[in-house]
Chain A
Amino acid sequence: MTASIVLGWEDWASLFAHYMLLSLMSVGGAISTTAEMHRFLVEQHHWLTPQQFNDSIALAQAAPGPNVLFVALMGWNVGLNAGSYTAAILGVAVTMFGIMLPSTTLTYMAAHWLHRNRELRAVRAFKQGMAPVVVGMLISTGIILATTDAKTLEHWPLWSVSLAAGILIWRTRIHLLWLLGAGAVLGWFQVV
């Protein structure tokens, strides 16, 4: 399953440069650039197997924390393929700093500028004007996530869990961890 590869310094530099570039293109999140990552890591350089690529994304989704951590797992696996845990840690550092530095720098400067000019009519219009679309996008994301693995009526237990969790969170102040725990238990015993 693991590929054996050799990475020189120019390869690490190329990986870093590529992730810096992807960072600037990642409007809507790093996940929107996965197709390009696949082309670069799997098809062009063969630094990752297709299986490792998919596992990196799935594992990061399953773990707590921002989804962008799938990038760290890709770096980790590239390093492991290159032969050592030291290389794996280097891989995590290279991909994570690459994907984070440009976008965070840009966002920091933009937020600073917007805050200083927060009384400008255009700035207020931009920040408030996005609200209806933000609401629509969030509800859409919920629906899409709830129906990815449960497209048909026979999956009703799974999406009723989503529905019940949604209503409880909407209407009560119950702590999220209780609901996540309940979901985990139901899943463990194959109820959903």
Chain B
Amino acid sequence: MIPEDNRPRPKSLADLFFSFTWLALQGFGGVLAVVQRELVERKRWLTQEEFIEEWAVAQVMPGPNVVNLSLVLGARYFGLPGAAAALGGMLTLPLLLVLMLALLHSHFAGHPGVAGALRGMAAVSAGLIGATGLKLGASLRRHPLPAAFGLAVALLAIILIVGMHAPLFYVLAGFGGLCCVLTYRRL
């Protein structure tokens, strides 16, 4: 639901390709939170609400979520070529990097500094993903459902997933389905 007005948008296929390459290269242990930070907060191609909506689509379809998200966004701006450019940007350079890393792996895997650096970066990524959730939580205030209800659902989902190790799929289908029905009735 990106309106065709004079909001910021990718200038060209190359812009799309390199923007997604840049996103992917910042994503240690996952790219989703980086997408929110770069595309919503820095480039302003999307609002928080649009980001959540597009992500809901990317999430329920099979395939890697961020890959689906890049595909959906690329397609929205430039059709099939845009989808290919965004997807290519997301995968090409990171693929070459990870293969190089595999070649180097045997030499450096035992170095305690390397293992420590990876551990430190993973800890930062974990904070990044949690913070993204908190920021998107603020947009529940403008949701068709009452904010208190939305927050209660989010909190319950956290308790079920973290505390009780409930399978993600059931939480997504159960609470997601319920909220979709309730939203439908209020629209």
Against B, the Cβ 8 Å flags (1 = close, 0 = not) of A98-115 are 011011101110111011
Q: Which B residues lie within 8 Å of A161 (CB)?
A: 120, 123-124, 127
* A137-B171, A142-B130 known; A65-B119 Cβ under 8 A: no
Of the residues A68, A69, A132, contact of B179 by C-beta under 8 Å: A132
Whether a CB of chain B sits under 8 angstroms from the CB of A60 is yes
User: Min CB distance, B58 to chain A, in Å?
Assistant: 7
Contact between chains at A186 and B179 (CB < 8 Å) = no
User: Min CB distance, A51 to chain B, in Å?
Assistant: 11
Q: Which A residues lie within 8 Å of B95 (CB)?
A: 65, 69, 72, 92, 96
Q: Which residue of A lies closest to B134 (CB)?
A: A170
Against A, the Cβ 8 Å flags (1 = close, 0 = not) of B165-176 are 000110110011
Q: Give Cα distance in the complex from A102 to B127, angstroms.
A: 33
Against B, the Cβ 8 Å flags (1 = close, 0 = not) of A144-175 are 11100110000000110111111111100100
The tally of CB-CB contacts under 8 A between chains A and B is 371
Q: Which residue of B lies closest to A163 (CB)?
A: B127
Q: Give Cα distance in the complex from A141 to B31, angstroms.
A: 13
* A104-B87, A158-B123, A187-B118 known; A27-B62 Cβ under 8 A: yes
Contact between chains at A165 and B27 (CB < 8 Å) = no
Q: Which residue of B lies closest to A80 (CB)?
A: B102
* A129-B182, A137-B168 known; A170-B124 Cβ under 8 A: no
Grouping DSSP codes into helix (H, G, I), strand (E, B) and loop, the B interface class, with mixed when no group exceeds half, is helix
Against A, the Cβ 8 Å flags (1 = close, 0 = not) of B159-187 are 00110000011011001100111111001
Contact between chains at A132 and B67 (CB < 8 Å) = no
A104, A118, A163: which has the most chain B beta carbons within 10 Å? Answer: A104
Whether a CB of chain B sits under 8 angstroms from the CB of A133 is yes
* A72-B99, A108-B83 known; A136-B157 Cβ under 8 A: yes
Of the residues A63, A104, A134, contact of B98 by C-beta under 8 Å: A63
User: Min CB distance, A161 to chain B, in Å?
Assistant: 4
Whether a CB of chain B sits under 8 angstroms from the CB of A61 is yes
Of the residues B53, B83, B132, contact of A128 by C-beta under 8 Å: B53
B123, B126, B133, B145: which has the most chain A beta carbons within 10 Å? Answer: B123
Of the residues B56, B115, B126, contact of A145 by C-beta under 8 Å: B126
Can you show 30 pairs from A to B with CB atoms below 8 A apart?
A28-B65, A63-B101, A65-B90, A65-B95, A77-B102, A102-B62, A104-B68, A108-B72, A108-B83, A128-B49, A129-B179, A130-B176, A131-B143, A132-B153, A132-B154, A132-B157, A133-B176, A134-B55, A139-B130, A139-B134, A142-B129, A143-B162, A145-B129, A165-B127, A168-B131, A169-B128, A170-B131, A176-B37, A176-B128, A182-B120
Nearest 9 pairs of A and B residues by beta carbon = A142-B130, A65-B94, A187-B120, A103-B63, A136-B157, A138-B133, A165-B127, A129-B180, A166-B127
